[in-house]
Structure 1
């Protein structure tokens, strides 16, 4: 029988609540496959005083243990170090990073507090799987609290080149903390190579084999596990009542014009201004497309308390307004810019309706929108995917039209190419893309990671 699984993540999908996406479903499935376990994380609530314990909920054989944050922890750990320091640096935006010793102290404190709370629930033969950049020090703090069992960590965002990572004043502390895990998983081979190079060049790591380094008096396995989706489920969503209704609503507005679609959180890493500029360039260069193509950009706001996001919102408002003012007509609006969220079923229906999926982040760990767009397509008449070469998904999806999102002219050419692509080429590209999405799906990801973790030696 497999060892009991314990999962730790910044946020947690509580029982009874709808799962926000494929990752939450995948982690719940991983716990179920192991015959039960514990999922630990932040409740999402901010309370005035620090609570010593956790609140427990149960669903079947899975226990959910949640902890709250105080206002000081929320400001320093979450908004501060996680999102004003780690997020921009890991996305190669050192210019936007804010380095504050008090924020890092809060980050350390929350990682330590969460570790001590979780250790209370562990058994000697458990397997612990920690997720993402919020909890990079949690493994080391669990070791300090006496836990010596098997532990893995998966980073969902990019890991930057060593020269960029070293900009963090606490880079050595973070690297040492990460190496307390037995297995560290990354989204792409590029991320894995970046971390290995950092450890070899900055921490004196010695290569033991293709997957393992000896560093900080430990053997640490470092591997690539590219996260996927459930493509069959997403294809069903595209055909669902919700999916069809969303496509019908938008179809009435666009009046069967060719549709270009982008769906992203409102984040400076997503390349949204460059994308709008590229679409405007298409209309500049191709008079024949004016009135015949519409661009829908769905961009729900996120982290609105962070200044960089407020500035981005203003920039997008201005860009969309200017392009529409230049080209709109009485019966046609070039850009429909929607700063709100939609359900997964609605998005699946909109993806199927679209002729072009525009996924052009400046830097992204994976970007599952690219894979969802592919899964939602009708096999007989699939849309074309324009994908940034800096999205992690580009490593797996070379049959997409790959672009440099900083090159506005090249991106405009790629959009035009996708709009005018013959159906035979669209089918051929889609068949190659969907084969990969199906082969390395979300179940493959979690099983591959846990199999490798089970194989490590503590």
Structure 2
């Protein structure tokens, strides 16, 4: 019997690697399995690039112990990476979400350090790096996404020095005093320095990273550039070929590229008659209050949900507003429910909601309408249209795209955005009411100001916010990053950088007791 050798894997010139694939496996009632596209701005931004450049997406399919061959989904090449139940427990729920996530979010919750979690993180990152290396053409461009895969750039640099490698960190990067607590701090830095371009949400995040590089590695940095020696045992093998005369180092760029949304798609949905009608129904179902305040978050301790509930409850207690006049709608989508800190948070939030409704509600009206669920995008757009005030009180957030989604849907140029200064979006959306969510009195003042803001001021602010979001959408974000990356990572490429540091002429920070000037 003749044994046929396995076919060589198909290779691609542009490869994206992320923890999750851009598709979800769905089981229909008849037991048939199919793949559905995951909603998200990242997929929207990269899909045209992948189609135009023979691209592939490497990632986990979202279920344990699922062995799948590469396949096509809606014209995108999908390369699944299998994870076992132990991988999910230690690499994903453990090191990624119970070590890195709290550490990178300023230790709002105490991070857990377990050596077996780290070992699993290394092993899974190696699996991703091997998968990417196997499907990448000679000289391909690879873009690695987020904190779960911080070791992949170095692994790829060692195995495939021909590749152009980018990395984008979607969450904050902490100050060195916090980051230095991580037992594997140097290994993470070395892993990231395998990339040619390392992107962050905020300028402060990029600066935190370069400070960590100087402290832990001693490499020279100048502005957004880092000189990584080509011969350095701790970083990995040098690039292939001879060392260029007079330049025994690689130039790595580490700078901010604030991510955004597909603003046009949100605006298009907000103009649909059925969604406008649904927004009217939502107000009616809530008893047609004079004002609706909306909070939309994952149920996560970084989002400051308890802070906004405390401020809202105190406003009711003080008599500054009544339950019949104002309703707070809080959507808290389920998140990481197998992690103990998240189970405790859910209990805390639901207890606060119950107390507020019990103390200040009436038979016909509850002041807080709380929903521990996830809604499809069309329902979210209807909620955005129904809300007079969007309340974002993140204690630490890489960006917070909900704030931008709210702005994109406000085709009437109305509505007020209250935005935490600790969310990355505050660097761009200066015409929001910027607040420190830890300052409960300041937060209460901002809510009252938003509720009573004259229509002319609301329109002026919202027009400025909308201009910002539409000019700097997710397509502009991906184009800017890839323009720098495909310029081979040279400092000269920065002249093609994004315009994110520019502000609208009328978009200066607010002054006064309820606003923090960042």
TM-score (ref. length: structure 2): 0.84
Distance in 1 between residues matched to 2:314 and 2:476, nearest whole Å: 40
Kindly indicate whether the alpha-carbon contact (under 8 Å) linking 1:187 and 1:365 is maintained by their aligned counterparts in 2. yes
CA displacement at 1:254 relative to structure 2? 2.1
Distance in 2 between residues matched to 1:395 and 1:187, nearest whole Å: 10
CA displacement at 1:190 relative to structure 2? 1.1
| Aligned equivalent of 2:227 | 214
CA displacement at 1:120 relative to structure 2? 1.0
Kindly indicate whether the alpha-carbon contact (under 8 Å) linking 1:281 and 1:409 is maintained by their aligned counterparts in 2. no
Distance in 2 between residues matched to 1:322 and 1:37, nearest whole Å: 52
Kindly indicate whether the alpha-carbon contact (under 8 Å) linking 2:58 and 2:131 is maintained by their aligned counterparts in 1. no
Distance in 2 between residues matched to 1:89 and 1:80, nearest whole Å: 13
Kindly indicate whether the alpha-carbon contact (under 8 Å) linking 1:179 and 1:220 is maintained by their aligned counterparts in 2. yes
Distance in 2 between residues matched to 1:287 and 1:41, nearest whole Å: 50
From the two aligned structures, give the one with the greater helix fraction.
1
Pairing 1:357–2:390 present: yes
CA displacement at 1:270 relative to structure 2? 0.4
| Aligned equivalent of 1:27 | 46
Aligned length: 449
Pairing 1:253–2:260 present: no
CA displacement at 1:200 relative to structure 2? 2.0
Pairing 1:403–2:442 present: no
Kindly indicate whether the alpha-carbon contact (under 8 Å) linking 1:243 and 1:347 is maintained by their aligned counterparts in 2. no
Kindly indicate whether the alpha-carbon contact (under 8 Å) linking 1:282 and 1:415 is maintained by their aligned counterparts in 2. no
CA displacement at 1:457 relative to structure 2? 4.7
1:25-174 → structure 2 map (5 Å cutoff):
25-32=44-51, 34-47=52-65, 55-59=69-73, 62-93=76-107, 95-174=109-188
Distance in 2 between residues matched to 1:290 and 1:120, nearest whole Å: 60
Kindly indicate whether the alpha-carbon contact (under 8 Å) linking 2:269 and 2:381 is maintained by their aligned counterparts in 1. yes
CA displacement at 1:212 relative to structure 2? 1.0
Structure 1 residues 64-112: Cα deviation after superposition (integer angstroms, max 9, x where no partner): 1012211111111001100000000000116520000000000000000
Residue from 194, 200, 216 that aligns with 1:180: 194
Kindly indicate whether the alpha-carbon contact (under 8 Å) linking 1:242 and 1:349 is maintained by their aligned counterparts in 2. no
Structure 1 residues 137 and 232: alpha-carbon distance in aligned structure 2, compared to 1, 3 A threshold: same
SS where residue 167 of structure 1 aligns? coil
SS where residue 126 of structure 1 aligns? strand
| Aligned equivalent of 1:13 | 22
CA displacement at 1:245 relative to structure 2? 4.7
Distance in 1 between residues matched to 2:481 and 2:82, nearest whole Å: 29
Residue from 343, 346, 349 that aligns with 2:376: 343
1:271-286 → structure 2 map (5 Å cutoff):
271-286=304-319
Distance in 1 between residues matched to 2:128 and 2:311, nearest whole Å: 44
Distance in 2 between residues matched to 1:67 and 1:425, nearest whole Å: 51
Structure 1 residues 230-283: Cα deviation after superposition (integer angstroms, max 9, x where no partner): 222101222335533531332112232110001000001001111111111221
Structure 1 residues 163-204: Cα deviation after superposition (integer angstroms, max 9, x where no partner): 111111101100010000010000111111111121123321
Distance in 1 between residues matched to 2:371 and 2:309, nearest whole Å: 13
| Aligned equivalent of 2:475 | 443
Structure 1 residues 249 and 389: alpha-carbon distance in aligned structure 2, compared to 1, 3 A threshold: same
Structure 1 residues 284 and 94: alpha-carbon distance in aligned structure 2, compared to 1, 3 A threshold: closer
Structure 1 residues 202-246: Cα deviation after superposition (integer angstroms, max 9, x where no partner): 321212x43211135432111211111122210122233553353
SS where residue 430 of structure 2 aligns? coil
CA displacement at 1:377 relative to structure 2? 1.1
| Aligned equivalent of 1:265 | 298
Distance in 2 between residues matched to 1:107 and 1:424, nearest whole Å: 53
Structure 1 residues 75 and 293: alpha-carbon distance in aligned structure 2, compared to 1, 3 A threshold: same
CA displacement at 1:322 relative to structure 2? 0.2
Residue from 371, 386, 393 that aligns with 2:404: 371
Task: Answer with 1 or 2: which has the greater Rg.
Answer: 2
Structure 1 residues 242 and 364: alpha-carbon distance in aligned structure 2, compared to 1, 3 A threshold: farther
| Aligned equivalent of 2:505 | none
SS where residue 483 of structure 2 aligns? helix
Structure 1 residues 261-313: Cα deviation after superposition (integer angstroms, max 9, x where no partner): 01000001001111111111221223443310000000011100000000000
Kindly indicate whether the alpha-carbon contact (under 8 Å) linking 1:96 and 1:308 is maintained by their aligned counterparts in 2. no
Distance in 2 between residues matched to 1:268 and 1:288, nearest whole Å: 27
SS where residue 366 of structure 1 aligns? coil
Kindly indicate whether the alpha-carbon contact (under 8 Å) linking 1:261 and 1:357 is maintained by their aligned counterparts in 2. yes
Pairing 1:330–2:363 present: yes
Kindly indicate whether the alpha-carbon contact (under 8 Å) linking 1:239 and 1:349 is maintained by their aligned counterparts in 2. no
